[in-house]
Amino acid sequence: MGSCFSSSLSFGASPDAVFSTAITSLKPEDAFDPNRVKCVVDKRGYAIYFSRGLIPYNKSGRVNPQFSYLLHLGIQVLKYCMFRKPFT
């Protein structure tokens, strides 16, 4: 099945996805706030991982103003089929 995490709430563009979550841009001044969960997505918009720390982290320990950091909004959508199949 491949990756099953999509970063938009619509499954239309990713019919193989069974889990979707909402993200939006994050203000650079909020990048180090541990109360804001950050998200990294791949080229297709699939969520790769989430963190309360700065991700992706750079060696300088500073926010890169040229990078678009993403904020996880805490809303998830699951397809019904995810509950019917046993995890293996």
Q: Domains in the chain: how many in total?
A: 1
| Both structure tokens of 6 | 């999509």
**74 neighbors 39 (Cβ within 8 angstroms):** no
19: nearest Cα among 29, 31, 9: 9
What is the C-alpha to C-alpha distance for residues 46 and 17, in angstroms, rounded to an integer? 9
Q: What are the tens digits of pLDDT across the range 1-40?
A: 334 444 454 555 666 666 778 889 998 889 899 999 999 8
What is the C-alpha to C-alpha distance for residues 72 and 40, in angstroms, rounded to an integer? 9
Tell me the residue range of the domain where 53 lies: 5-84
* pLDDT greater than 70 at residue 71: yes
Residue 2 is predicted with a pLDDT of 39
pTM: 0.67
